[in-house]
C-alpha cells in the first residue's frame, strides 16, 4: 500500500504535468499546481524543493518510456516487427503520457535547457543505435534505401502528434477524448504507410 508521502508525490507530479503542459514552465506558478492538486503550497516545496526541480521531475518521468520504446530495434530481427512495435510503443506514450509528452516537446523546441546531460545522451544514443539498425537492414537489402534519420523523424512526428496536438485532433474528429480503438487505428495506418514506403514485407499473423 502506498504511503501518504508516495501518494502526495504522485499527485503533485501528475498535476504538475497537466499545468506545465497547459501553461509552460515560465508562466506556471507553484501555487497553480498546489491549488489544482488541493494541497498546501508548502507541500510542493517539501517534496520537490523548487518549481524547477518539479519541472525536471516531469521531464524525467517520460525519459524512461521514451528509452524503452527503442527496445524493438535491439530485440527484433525482422524490420517489420521492429518498426510496428516501435510505432505502437510511441503511440502508447502519446496516450498514457500525453501531458508529459507536451512538456517534453515544449522543452525540446526551446533547446532542452532543463533536461539533464545524462538524459540527453541516453536519448541520443538510443536514436543513433536505432538509425544504425535501420541502415543495417537497408544494406542487407531488407528495406528500400530510404534515409534512416528522416524515417525516424517521420515516425516521431506521426506518433507524437496524438499527444502534442491532441486539441486539433479532437476538433477535427469531433471527439471529447480518443478511445483505445483510435490509437489502434492510428498504429495500423502509420505502420502500413511505413512498411509500404520502405518496401518491407509485413509481419505474418
d(CA 202, CA 190): 13
d(CA 74, CA 82): 8
Residue 203 has pLDDT above 70, yes or no: no
Contact between 99 and 21 under an 8 Å Cβ cutoff? The reply is yes
Burial state string for 128-161 with b = 16 or more CB within 10 A and e = fewer than 16: eebbebbbebbeeebbeebebeebbebbeebbbe
Angle at 20 between CA 17 and CA 26, to 5 degrees: 155
pTM (predicted TM-score): 0.91
pLDDT by residue (tens digit) across 44-57? Answer: 999 998 999 999 99
pLDDT at residue 204, rounded to an integer: 62
pLDDT by residue (tens digit) across 133-185? Answer: 999 999 999 999 999 999 999 999 999 999 999 999 999 999 999 999 999 99
Using 50, 70 and 90 to split pLDDT, how confident is the model at 2? Answer: low
pLDDT at residue 205, rounded to an integer: 53
DSSP type of residue 201 = P
Domains of the chain: 4-49 (1.10.10.60), 59-197 (1.10.357.10)
Amino acid at each position: 500500500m502506498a504511503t501518504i508521502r508516495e501518494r502526495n508525490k504522485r499527485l503533485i507530479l501528475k498535476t504538475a504535468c497537466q499545468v506545465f503542459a497547459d501553461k509552460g514552465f515560465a508562466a506556471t506558478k507553484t501555487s497553480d499546481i498546489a491549488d489544482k492538486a488541493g494541497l498546501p503550497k508548502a507541500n510542493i516545496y517539501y517534496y520537490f524543493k523548487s518549481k524547477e526541480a518539479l519541472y525536471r521531475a516531469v521531464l524525467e518521468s517520460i525519459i524512461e518510456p521514451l528509452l524503452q520504446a527503442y527496445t524493438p530495434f535491439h530485440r527484433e530481427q525482422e524490420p517489420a516487427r521492429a518498426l510496428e512495435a516501435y510505432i505502437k510503443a510511441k503511440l502508447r506514450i502519446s496516450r498514457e503520457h500525453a501531458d508529459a509528452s507536451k512538456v517534453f516537446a515544449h522543452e525540446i523546441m526551446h533547446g532542452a535547457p532543463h533536461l539533464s546531460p545524462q538524459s540527453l545522451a541516453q536519448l541520443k544514443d538510443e536514436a543513433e543505435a536505432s538509425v544504425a539498425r535501420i541502415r543495417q537492414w537497408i544494406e542487407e537489402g531488407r528495406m528500400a534505401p530510404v534515409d534512416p534519420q528522416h524515417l525516424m523523424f517521420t515516425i516521431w512526428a506521426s506518433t507524437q502528434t496524438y499527444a502534442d496536438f491532441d486539441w486539433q485532433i479532437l476538433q477535427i474528429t469531433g471527439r471529447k477524448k480518443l478511445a483505445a480503438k483510435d490509437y489502434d487505428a492510428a498504429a495500423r495506418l502509420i505502420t502500413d504507410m511505413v512498411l509500404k514506403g520502405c518496401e518491407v514485407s509485413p509481419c505474418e499473423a
